[in-house]
Structure 1
Amino acid sequence: MIIPALSEPSTASTSSPQARSSSGPRRSSALSVILSLWLVIFFASLFAPPLLDDADATHANAARNMALTGDLVTLKVNGIRYLEKAALPYWLDAISFRIFGFNTFAAHLPEAIGVLLLALLGYHWGRRAYGDRTAFYTGVFALTSAGVFLFTRIYIPEVLLSLFILTALYCLLRTLEETSRQRPLYAYTMWAMLALAVLTKGLVALVFFGGAAIFYLTLTRQWRNVGRTRIASGLLLFFAIAAPWHILAGLRNTGGMNGHGFFWFYFVNEHFLRFLGKRYPKDYNKLPGYLFWSLHLVWLFPWSLFSPLAVIQGWRLRRSRPGTSINFSTGTTWLLLIYGALVLVFFSISTNQEYYTFPAYLAILILMAVALVCAEQSYDVDQTSRRWIIAAHATYTVIGIAAAAALGYGLWSSRNLPFVPDIGELLAHRGVGDYTLSMSHFFDLTGPSFAALRLPATLAALSFAFGPAIAWWLRSRRRHLASTVAIALTSTVFLVAAHIALVRFAPMLSSANLAQKIIQLEDQHLVSQDSEILLYGDQAYGSSIPFYLGKIVYLVDGRSTSMLFGSTFPDAPPIFLTHDDLLRTWGTGPRKILFVPLEKRDVVDRLLGDNKVLLAETSGKALFTDRPLDHPSSR
């Protein structure tokens, strides 16, 4: 049996008593709430912390080079070819840099706008398929889910990939369903969005879109309608958008390691060998299967608490095979089910990081939103749905009380501890997963480090202490919309607190303060502006330093990971130094300023001994120079 909320056409949503009982806010009010949430959670967080080391600043460096050189074809990091990524995210960042300057706000603005557009897409799609309340819930869910917030703190392309693929899928449905003059517009928009998705993340966009489309067309027996997608002219549009960069990148980047160039490294190494776990070099990890699946309860929290409702609705759909006359609502349900499952299964087989399944989040959230609305509609007559809603609120309240108690205990136990601005000094540095998983540093937290997190801990404790209980009370009073909004506001306060905590971690996760120290010494004429800046180890350890200094740095023992393949091209600049090179030039020629990450302090201490001068130290990272500071009067 298909329940009415899933099967009725959206045109009936204003006429049935059941739909009226679940009416949502007016469109203007809903969009105002969505925009307000985005401003509070995402826009306000664009200004701090500074760019983080590793992927965040590495990608910003590539975009900075584009903005300065005008080379929109070959990505370069620290002067070295960076051929593993598609170009579109860097084009957007380069434009942002040209408008707003080289800063954190400009680096993260395109991604934040992507989040807003993704939420608005969810709202629009949900409104047309299921009605106002589902649309409102979808937009709110997208902005207040833990994973959407967490995985947009660094500049990675997943949110843009999600936006483009899901827009293409929406246009596919409209093309198959639409009988008005708008059908060609949706068809060509679909092909354009698919091309942009390929320019954002590569061939995986074709796998996700194509796989979902093929399964859906087969299930609904709509292959006879494929001609509506303007295949011939649409493919021409697709290749006109997606092909030029790939062709130019291949022609301009030849003669690398073993004679390989862009085509081998980007398509073979970064796509097929990465999927098989044989990518070179191996600088990644993979989540165990049980964590891969169960952590989605965290990434989609708090809305994952209602996931059993979506399972129930899916179970009720199991015997209903959609026919060729499928309406937009039912078609949306099946397409999102297929697409979400495809993404999850694909990355359960492939190598993965925690955020790789981000493209499935909105699809899953839409399905959970419609399931919650259906359960609200039948709250007084459907015992199964009501029990699961009560169980979700009970679980949320227990989690809230436990979290508030744990945070309260931490606040009380640290009440006499001094506030330490450099929280990195208080962490354990356990190296869980050798820091190749994005959440590895979470396990470094210690009791003393809690003293630096009093403000965010207080906000989170208060939100968890009251928010879940208020939401449950409102639900018991049949004030369903208010209850869901209470959960969203609780999540909003928690995410704001999480952002404040991230800012407190900045000295550990970013080396921007050490770059600022170098600039300060240059301004005070204590070191020359032509001093040579050296980073010990892989550039990812201190990638924010060349970004904020705006200059190429030397890498000591750093010909590895993302720098390895690009370094094999004949025209690669000579920025890679060995231990012998460091010892031979240390103390001679231009002044040397050496950045050393915590992980390499012991190695450098053994290598240089006492023949170094400490300039600054934070979170175990240090700046050394090879001679005493200059005297301003001598200049």
Structure 2
Amino acid sequence: MFAVWFGALDQRPLIRPDEGRYAEIPREMVASGDWLTPRLNDLKYFEKPALQYWATAVGFKLFDEDEWTARLWPALTGFLGVLLAGYTGRRLWGRTAGHLSAAILASTLLYGVMGHVLTLDMGLTFFLQLAWTGFIFAQQPDARAGRRWMLTAWAALALAVLSKGLVALVLTGGTLVAYSLLNRDLSPWRRLSPLAGLGLFLAIAAPWFVAVSLANPEFPRFFFIHEHFERFLTTVHRRNQPDWYFLFIYAVGALPWTLLLLHGLFGAWRREGGAAFQPQRFLLLWIAVTFGFFSISSSKLPPYILPIFPALALLGGRHLAGLSRRALLLHLAALLPLALAAIWLAPQAVKWQDEDYSLAMLQGVAHWLTGAAGALLLGLVGAIALAWKKRTIAALTALATAGFISGTATLLAHGELSPYNSAKALAAQAAPRLRPDVPFYSLLHYEQTLPFYLERTLTLVQYQDEMAFGLKQEPQKWIPTLEEFKQRWRTGPHAYAVMTVDEFKKFVAEGLPMQEIARSLRYVIAENVRPAHGGDGGDCAATPAAPPCNGARIQP
């Protein structure tokens, strides 16, 4: 599993928008040497805290600036989450429950995918998991060991805040309050070690927030108000979805364990033994509070409910360790129609062909999806055969293996769409013609993956979107109108510009002097047409017959 988990990280180009954004910010940290103020495309970017940017930037310093290193942090935290789930399940409910908890988490579709996609959600999920794990273990009779675990929980909570903000405090605090009220148990509050814990929390989390606020007085209002309260209460980020949205995300994201995990929740509230603290109840409330919080939010994206999956895996491992043969066979049989339908549907992917997705791309998608469906079907058949022979653990392990392989293949299927979703090929095509000292404009759009692969930033033209805040702080770094750009393009020095294919055709039809130097399915990179030996730009000629410019490693 280790080899596949980390070996698949560089098998796909970075895709827009998140992967390009969260690779480019740490790349710019390394290039500029400024590790305090996050910048995207050389503009202040305060939507998220800096922990993952730092981790990725350190990776870029130690290794290479490539896809493998860019995705290393979510992969590492995701893998650690699997190990932690196994350890926690074993301590709470025995070796079998621990083994099954780890297997479930590693093979759950959404968790496995997000462990290989560059977003901030897996880092947040792991540190939240570590926080509530420390809290659970802090309830043990040994006061000294309990205090160590409680301080671990405080430290993990600080790292969760540095990963994605105040949501970590809301989820953990909400779960603790809900547990205390519904379970009528105030004893966990007495084990919080508030003075030492809060001191440790502030020592870890506060310095960056203080320093970045002192260096950028505009930070506190934007980060704490706009990015938290306005994001939750309004549709300002245009991510509104229906209330049932996360039910669908769970149904698909929890495969192949969707029904089994739900079954495991039914008995989770049952009191266990004579202990005052009930970890299974706490985990159930963690799931309910997290799922409910994001369901009522006005901003919804699929990874938002990722933090419920480690808790689901633990309760699932506990439940499956004692599952009857009959119940297991029924659940496995219920998955067979899904696997058979996937076998039939996978080749149909070629029918999605249009101007964006070529036949070759969709054939690649169909190939991987067919493999994913086939792996799931074979795993199911094997699991049913093992369950029939009353080899329950072996059957569940077979299902987990099939789920892990199927999820990996599904992720690779999405990678086949990279000619449309990534600018890697476009950047490689243009690189021999680009010079680092020549201005580079981005017209009406911003392709998130292009700056990372070009290793340079772009000047935005009549486009703001998520960089509106940064442009407001440094308005000299963009061109507000196309008319101003056109004037510079016609009369200024040698320059490059990236635009959509349709926009390129429109500009050429208008008579704007543009020489195409690279093209993808979506974008064209062009340079302004100038005399072969005049103006800035040296020997970079603007005619098709002229030799290309010498390539260079481009920095901001």
Contact 1:393 1:472 in 2 (8 A): yes
Deviation track 1:386-441 (CA, whole Å, cap 9, x = no partner) reads 3x43332112111112211333x549x89xxxxxxxx9xx4466xxxxxxxxxxxx
SS where residue 321 of structure 2 aligns?
helix
Q: In the alignment, what sits opposite 1:298? A: 252
Q: Does 1:367 align with 2:320?
A: no
Change (3 A) 1:530 1:587: farther
Change (3 A) 1:121 1:76: same
Deviation track 1:432-471 (CA, whole Å, cap 9, x = no partner) reads xxxxxxxxxxxxx798753233541442243244221221
SS where residue 312 of structure 2 aligns?
helix
Q: In the alignment, what sits opposite 2:343? A: 404
Q: CA deviation at 1:179?
A: 0.9
Match of 2:133 among 145, 160, 170: 170
- Counterpart of 1:291, as a letter, is Y
Q: In the alignment, what sits opposite 2:486? A: 583
Match of 1:605 among 500, 505, 508: 505
SS where residue 181 of structure 1 aligns?
helix
Q: CA deviation at 1:222?
A: 4.2
Contact 2:284 2:311 in 1 (8 A): yes
Contact 1:176 1:226 in 2 (8 A): no
Q: In the alignment, what sits opposite 1:417? A: none
Match of 1:616 among 506, 509, 518: 518
Q: CA deviation at 1:205?
A: 0.3
> Size of the alignment, in residue pairs?
534
Q: Does 1:266 align with 2:223?
A: yes
User: 1:52-63 counterparts in 2 under 5 A?
Assistant: 52-63=15-26
Q: Distance in 1 between matches of 2:323 and 2:366?
A: 39
Q: Distance in 2 between matches of 1:82 and 1:122?
A: 34
SS where residue 441 of structure 2 aligns?
strand
- Counterpart of 1:215, as a letter, is A
Q: Distance in 1 between matches of 2:329 and 2:241?
A: 32
Change (3 A) 1:448 1:634: closer
Q: Distance in 1 between matches of 2:411 and 2:449?
A: 19
Q: In the alignment, what sits opposite 1:7? A: none
Deviation track 1:167-214 (CA, whole Å, cap 9, x = no partner) reads 111111222224153233212211111111111111110011111122
Normalising by structure 1, we get a TM-score of 0.79
Match of 1:326 among 271, 276, 285: 276
Q: CA deviation at 1:625?
A: 2.5
Q: Distance in 1 between matches of 2:388 and 2:170?
A: 44
Match of 2:460 among 544, 547, 555: 555
Match of 1:595 among 491, 498, 514: 498
Q: In the alignment, what sits opposite 1:347? A: 294
Q: CA deviation at 1:568?
A: 1.0
User: 1:100-115 counterparts in 2 under 5 A?
Assistant: 100-115=63-78
- Counterpart of 1:531, as a letter, is V
SS where residue 85 of structure 1 aligns?
coil
Contact 2:245 2:295 in 1 (8 A): no
- Counterpart of 1:132, as a letter, is R
Change (3 A) 1:299 1:428: farther
Q: Does 1:509 align with 2:466?
A: no
Contact 1:459 1:493 in 2 (8 A): no
Q: Distance in 1 between matches of 2:503 and 2:430?
A: 23
Match of 2:33 among 60, 66, 70: 70
Q: In the alignment, what sits opposite 1:537? A: 444
Q: Does 1:150 align with 2:53?
A: no
Change (3 A) 1:592 1:154: farther
- The percent of aligned pairs where both chains have the same amino acid is 26
- Counterpart of 2:432, as a letter, is Q
SS where residue 364 of structure 1 aligns?
helix
Q: In the alignment, what sits opposite 1:480? A: 392
SS where residue 496 of structure 2 aligns?
strand
User: 1:21-60 counterparts in 2 under 5 A?
Assistant: 37-40=1-4, 42-60=5-23
Gaps of 5+ in 1: 1-36, 255-260, 380-385, 415-422, 430-444, 523-527
Q: In the alignment, what sits opposite 2:331? A: 392
Contact 1:191 1:235 in 2 (8 A): yes
Worse-superposed segment, 342-351 or 622-631: 622-631
- Counterpart of 1:333, as a letter, is Q
Q: Distance in 2 between matches of 1:313 and 1:344?
A: 19
Q: Does 1:208 align with 2:171?
A: yes
Q: In the alignment, what sits opposite 2:431? A: 519
Q: In the alignment, what sits opposite 1:17? A: none
Contact 1:309 1:372 in 2 (8 A): no
- Counterpart of 2:463, as a letter, is G
Q: Distance in 2 between matches of 1:394 and 1:446?
A: 37
- Counterpart of 2:375, as a letter, is S
- Counterpart of 1:135, as a letter, is G
Q: In the alignment, what sits opposite 2:304? A: 356
Gaps of 5+ in 2: 530-541, 551-556
SS where residue 535 of structure 1 aligns?
strand
Change (3 A) 1:491 1:65: same
Q: CA deviation at 1:308?
A: 4.1
Q: Distance in 2 between matches of 1:576 and 1:55?
A: 24
Q: CA deviation at 1:349?
A: 0.4
Q: Distance in 2 between matches of 1:364 and 1:634?
A: 56
